Amino acid sequence: RTRAGQGSVATSALTGAVDTRLMCQHSFQTSPASSPSATKTLPFHSVMKHRSNPLVLLLLVVTAIMLLFAIMHTYPTDSLNQHYVNPDRLQLDLISQRQDPKPVSPVRDLADLPMIYPITPTYGRSAQIADLTRLSQTLMLVPNIHWIICEDSWTPNRLLQLFLKDLKLNFTLILTPMPAKYRRLKKQPKGCTARNAGLKWLTDSNKDGVLYFMDDDNTYDIRVFEEMRWTQRVSMWPVGLVTELAVSSPILKNGHLLGWYDGYMIKRKFAIDMAGFATNVQFMIKVGGVEMPYMHGLEEDGYLRALKIGYGDIEFKADGCTKIYVWHTRTQWSSRGSPMIINSHYDGTNLRKLQSRIMLSSRQNWKINSSYEAWLIKEQFSIHN
């Protein structure tokens, strides 16, 4: 299933500044110095006539002070600015406004940008839609991208379909259930069926661009996609939060590969995390027969070996593998929701619609007894002041 969508967000950095300026002008116009009641103008001869009157002299002094105060705040001097300008805030503003002189991409025309094909294995769980939502918000900032979503299931996931219905991205959904013989293993080669299905779809479609194995619970800086976009064969970069070493990366010296900094070696030729490399699609197709092996812990190494590349074929990105643009994060496991929401007390409320958007556990797994459930429902419908 393939669908195209578009989405754009337009912002104006000037809006806040305009509003602030108008508020300042308004405050100046309503200052006591400019109000009719506070400014009383007297003719000169009248002032001279009543110069001995203390009340008149006091009024003149107060008026002069108020006018001076208004002028100083309307046209602040450098000495006043030193008191009102926060140096830390000024530094933050300058940093946020600074622009990188180097263009993100060699071309400006989106039609000339190589397409990126992220392949994302996923499966039904309580945090699935939350993970995919966070990931989709990142992908919406990346031009020329086609998301290949591969779900480990024999039947379409209802919640996933609702998510894709509102997705404003080009995507392809493929159902990729893991074969039973691998599902019975103690250490399952998770995601291999999904990734191989994505490779087959790209090969059969004879696509041009770059493919990237993108897990649904990782965290991605959009710069990683621009780094990989111009991959000729295979590109690599560091990945944060991998094993107890906290990072997985090629070890480089003067641009030459010396080894691999990774906590999981086991004689891997390419000891790198799944999120740390991308492949040119046409290069993969020309090699032919490239698949990810169903071998726990050796998925990345087996795939890269199948590409028949040498160390000299690798394109090192992220400023010589000195920057981290992707992190191997994991969403904390959340249990399924209580089936209490199906109670008839909630009929006719918004909960009946919310029920269709959450995953529920069975009654057998619901550990709260019926008496406590009844008390809880009663409390929920009690409005306390």
Positions marked active-site: 300
As a whole number of angstroms, the distance between CA 59 and CA 54 comes to: 9
Which tokens is 22 given? 């108008």
As a whole number of angstroms, the distance between CA 104 and CA 107 comes to: 9
The residue type of 156 is P
Q: Secondary structure of the chain: what % helix, strand, coil (to 5)?
A: 45, 15, 45
Secondary structure of residue 139 in the 3-state scheme: helix
* Known binding-site residue numbers for Mn(2+): 217
φ and ψ of 170, to 5 deg: -70, 130
* Known binding-site residue numbers: 217
Which tokens is 115 given? 């397409």
Closest CA to 161 of 1, 5, 8, 7: 1
Residues with Cβ < 8 Å from 366, sequence gap 6 or more? Answer: 338, 339, 340
